[in-house]
Amino acid sequence: MRTCSKWLAGCALTVLPLILAAVSCTYAERAAGLWGYEGTIGPEYWALLSQEYEICRTGKAQSPIDITKAVPSRLAHPRFVYRSMLLRIRNTGHTFQIAGDTGGFMEIGTSRYDLVEFHFHRPSGHALHGRAYDMELHLVHRGKDGERVVVGVFMEGDEEDNTSIQKIWEHLPADEGEQHLVEQIMVNAEDLLPSNRAFYYYPGSLTTPPCTQGVSWYVMTHPIRVSEEQVARFSSFYRVNKRPVQERNGRVIQSSLE
């Protein structure tokens, strides 16, 4: 009996640290993914939630920002080569995200950036001369070496529905983590761009954890129109899902020549 007891004790000493390590690791992984827009997991606390998010506090080139005092410049205009794709939409728990891996790409000069996904924020993260719009669309692209380029599009509430937005809104997944593949619905990201392609450019970051810097931002000067009902529909899921504007820290904002 004593031998058996010693063996059990030895097992406990060997296995218990492994169990505790596994629990600790699992907790850390969950904690690292737990962030939001309000309360103790909101933007002001992001850097405290994980070491990976430290740059959310220390970074000097963070997004979004208030766009003011832009310098008119001769910039290469993006060329959008988007194509229609099946609607694949997921409720991430932070926004609604549409997969874009079959949706084409954009070109800037001789560089190509593939569309990865696009998603929505309410109200707009970026401000224009201190004014926030009702919503903002972010089209996220990636280059062959991993470079990130994001196109921001302001969305302004109006009387009439935006038909391209409505096709998406009719299939919003209600639950966090839920994803819909809507085989009968095709979407094209170009339909979500304003007809006037003037833009602001500045170097920034992701607007969500881990707040990675080195992101090239092209924020369209002109908004697209959506109905107040469409804004309210999004708000019924996500009342506020945007990061406050960040310090400019001497960054130059350039505006394209129309």
Asked if 231 and 135 count as a contact pair (C-beta separation under 8 A), the reply is yes
The mean pLDDT value for 232-257 works out to 97
What percent of the chain is predicted at pLDDT more than 90?
A: 85
Alpha carbon dihedral 36, 38, 40, 45, in 10-degree steps, equals 70
Question: Distance of CA 208 to CAs 6, 35, 47, 127, Å?
Answer: 52, 9, 11, 17
Least confident interval from 6-10, 53-57, 78-82, 175-179: 6-10
Asked if 91 and 172 count as a contact pair (C-beta separation under 8 A), the reply is yes
pLDDT value for 104: 98
Choose among 257, 83, 114, 115: nearest CA to 186.
83
Among the residues of 34-169, which ranges form H helices?
46-49, 55-58, 163-169
pLDDT value for 28: 37
For the chain, the structural domain boundaries read 55-256
Q: How confident is the model at residue 9 (pLDDT cuts 50, 70, 90)?
A: very low
pLDDT of 234 strictly over 80: yes
> Would you state the structure tokens that stand for residue 76, as one six-digit string?
């290469």
Average model confidence (pLDDT) for the chain? 90
- Residue range 115-145, pLDDT digits in tens: 999 999 999 999 999 999 999 999 999 999 9
The mean pLDDT value for 213-241 works out to 98
Asked if 157 and 169 count as a contact pair (C-beta separation under 8 A), the reply is no
pLDDT value for 168: 98
pLDDT value for 257: 81
pLDDT of 30 strictly over 60: no
3-class state of residue 70 by DSSP: coil
Q: Give the pTM.
A: 0.87
Distance CA 219, CA 201 (A): 6
Exposed, middle or buried: residue 126 (CB in 10 Å: 0-12, 13-18, 19+)?
A: buried
R_g (Cα) of the chain, nearest Å: 22
- Residue range 150-179, pLDDT digits in tens: 999 999 999 999 999 999 999 999 999 999
Question: Distance of CA 222 to CAs 20, 197, 198, 218, Å?
Answer: 54, 8, 7, 12
pLDDT value for 258: 67
Domain 55-256, second-level architecture:
Roll (3.10)
**Contacting residues for 215 by C-beta, under 8 A, at least 6 apart:** 63, 148, 149, 150, 203, 204, 205, 206
The mean pLDDT value for 9-30 works out to 39
